Chains A and B, each alone.
Chain A
Amino acid sequence: MFFFALIVILVFSFSFSMDQQAARELIAGILWVAFAFTGIIGLGKSFSAELQNDCLEYLQMSPAPKGAIYLGKVAANLLFIVTAEVILFPMFVIFFNLDVVEDLPVLLLIFFLATLGLSTVGTLFSAMTVQIRAREVMLPILLLPLAVPVMIAAVEATRGALNGNPLALYRHWIELLVVFDVVFTVVSFWVVELILDS
């Protein structure tokens, strides 16, 4: 996960020799390409531990609510991806010569909300694909179309914050992230029961 994102940073930083203004316009997209694909690699492993010794079967027949198991997986994925982002973002700042001190709190909020959205949907699809043979291929195919609203909102909000725009100008993108998170967490919480029990 980490090395994939590191390669993305290095490739893009050497491909574009840009000033800070140009970097601020492009960096949001590059940043979320790195974060999203790093996240997908991690999400694909969400249920891999359960493939050993039929552990998934034990989860399925345990009396524990499947929604609780799902939320536990989401929390673990969120922690994992946010940790990767916390390590990677300073590298972006260094390689692209960004000044982000003032906007750091709002950037962290955007990262958290977008990563939560990615984790809720990604964990659900990871549960759906864990028992199929081509799960590594199927997860991105299923996940990416549904994650488009999160990605667009994350890129737009990140660009707004990096450009130092007033919050009012990109606040609606942050609100979209909040709505997406709430809707997909609630829906996934109920749907996962059917997925894990089928």
Chain B
Amino acid sequence: MVAIRGLHISKSYGHYRILEDLSFEIAAGECYALFGPNGAGKTTLLRILATLHRPSAGRLEILGRDAIQEREVVREALLLLAHGSHLYDELNAVENLSFAMALRAASPTDREVKVALDQVGIGAFAELKVRYFSAGMKKRLAMAKAILAHPKVLLLDEPYTSLDETGMVIMNRYIQALLKEGASVVMATHDRIKSAEVADRAGVLTHGVLRPLTREDLKTCDLF
């Protein structure tokens, strides 16, 4: 089953053409790694998939729905973990998770929240305000948010940035568990080694054009 289908997607900012006629399909239970140099349009593509940006042209379907016309419905199924952690500095970890879940009309139990925090290794900091968190801890808390949200489509922008080795292992373990549940994952990353552990397919975005990569490409060639 196709979870994400992009047809002739283009995006321009003024005279700058960022994405050029992209067509792609990502299946349910598949992880797609997106590579590309800085400014290639990886984040723009993720933001289009997250329904935060509208493409200048083309059609996007997520879980069989038109992601542009029916974005409110589509948003229930997807989650973006972006560069910004989407966390409130003045709330503690538990409060951040509760608020984030309330916006998704979900109300996890205290036990579920605790399990999610323990799973990402920050259970000891449940009552600490996020303003005192390091970048890596914020990333882990954002991961806990994803664990509680059970997204059918998870979009990850630089998922390994700021994480220590253990954090990266936890991230990949979580991605693998999510894939087993049938969810789809799209990640924009520069980390070939870590992403190769979970990615089923990969592509490189250069000058707005998406080129498919094989596993061998990931290991050997100069991507850009």
The reply to whether A61 and B87 contact each other, CB–CB distance below 8 Å, is no
Which positions 78-118 of chain B face chain A at CB distance < 8 Å? 78, 80, 82-90, 100, 103-105
- Cα A58 to Cα B80 in complex, Å, equals 8
Chain B residues, CB < 8 A from A69: 103
Binding site for B on A (CB under 8 A): 49, 52-55, 57-65, 69, 197
The reply to whether A62 and B75 contact each other, CB–CB distance below 8 Å, is yes
Could you tell me the distance in whole angstroms from the C-beta of A138 to the nearest C-beta in chain B?
22
The reply to whether A53 and B72 contact each other, CB–CB distance below 8 Å, is no
Ordered by A's residue number, 23 sampled pairs between the chains whose C-beta atoms are within 8 Å are A53-B85, A53-B89, A53-B138, A54-B84, A55-B87, A55-B88, A57-B52, A58-B100, A59-B103, A61-B50, A61-B80, A62-B103, A62-B104, A63-B72, A63-B73, A63-B75, A63-B103, A63-B104, A63-B105, A64-B103, A64-B105, A69-B103, A197-B71
Chain A residues, CB < 8 A from B138: 53
Could you tell me the distance in whole angstroms from the C-beta of B128 to the nearest C-beta in chain A?
15
Could you tell me the distance in whole angstroms from the C-beta of A83 to the nearest C-beta in chain B?
19
- Cα A52 to Cα B85 in complex, Å, equals 9
- Cα A58 to Cα B52 in complex, Å, equals 9
Chain B residues, CB < 8 A from A54: 82-86
The reply to whether A53 and B88 contact each other, CB–CB distance below 8 Å, is yes
Could you tell me the distance in whole angstroms from the C-beta of A112 to the nearest C-beta in chain B?
27
The reply to whether A49 and B86 contact each other, CB–CB distance below 8 Å, is no
Could you tell me the distance in whole angstroms from the C-beta of B182 to the nearest C-beta in chain A?
20
Q: Is B172 an interface residue (CB 8 A)?
A: no
What 9 A-B pairs have minimum CB-CB distances, sorted nearest first? A54-B84, A58-B86, A62-B103, A63-B75, A63-B76, A64-B103, A53-B85, A53-B84, A52-B89
The reply to whether A55 and B86 contact each other, CB–CB distance below 8 Å, is yes
Which single member of A57, A63, A65, A197 contacts B86 (CB below 8 Å)? A57
Chain A residues, CB < 8 A from B100: 58
Could you tell me the distance in whole angstroms from the C-beta of A115 to the nearest C-beta in chain B?
25
Could you tell me the distance in whole angstroms from the C-beta of B132 to the nearest C-beta in chain A?
13
Chain B residues, CB < 8 A from A52: 87-89
Provide the B125-141 mask, 1 if CB < 8 A to any CB of A, else 0: 00000100000001000
Could you tell me the distance in whole angstroms from the C-beta of B197 to the nearest C-beta in chain A?
27
- Cα A59 to Cα B130 in complex, Å, equals 18
Could you tell me the distance in whole angstroms from the C-beta of A99 to the nearest C-beta in chain B?
42
Could you tell me the distance in whole angstroms from the C-beta of B200 to the nearest C-beta in chain A?
25
With A54-B83, A63-B76 known, 13 other A-B pairs at CB within 8 A are A52-B89, A53-B84, A53-B87, A54-B86, A55-B84, A57-B82, A58-B100, A60-B52, A61-B50, A63-B72, A63-B103, A64-B104, A69-B103
Chain A residues, CB < 8 A from B184: none
- Cα A116 to Cα B53 in complex, Å, equals 33
Task: Please name the residue on chain B nearest to A66 by beta carbon.
Answer: B72
The reply to whether A53 and B86 contact each other, CB–CB distance below 8 Å, is yes
- Cα A59 to Cα B80 in complex, Å, equals 12
Q: A53-B138, A54-B82 are in contact. Are A61 and B89 (CB under 8 A)?
A: no
Could you tell me the distance in whole angstroms from the C-beta of B65 to the nearest C-beta in chain A?
12
Could you tell me the distance in whole angstroms from the C-beta of B166 to the nearest C-beta in chain A?
23
Chain B residues, CB < 8 A from A62: 75, 103-104
- Cα A64 to Cα B84 in complex, Å, equals 20
Task: Please name the residue on chain A nearest to B72 by beta carbon.
Answer: A63
Q: Is B51 an interface residue (CB 8 A)?
A: yes
Could you tell me the distance in whole angstroms from the C-beta of B194 to the nearest C-beta in chain A?
23
Could you tell me the distance in whole angstroms from the C-beta of A59 to the nearest C-beta in chain B?
7
- Cα A69 to Cα B102 in complex, Å, equals 11
Could you tell me the distance in whole angstroms from the C-beta of A129 to the nearest C-beta in chain B?
19
The reply to whether B84 and A57 contact each other, CB–CB distance below 8 Å, is yes
Task: Please name the residue on chain A nearest to B86 by beta carbon.
Answer: A58
Task: Please name the residue on chain B nearest to A60 by beta carbon.
Answer: B52
Chain A residues, CB < 8 A from B87: 52-53, 55
- Cα A197 to Cα B86 in complex, Å, equals 16
- Cα A60 to Cα B86 in complex, Å, equals 11
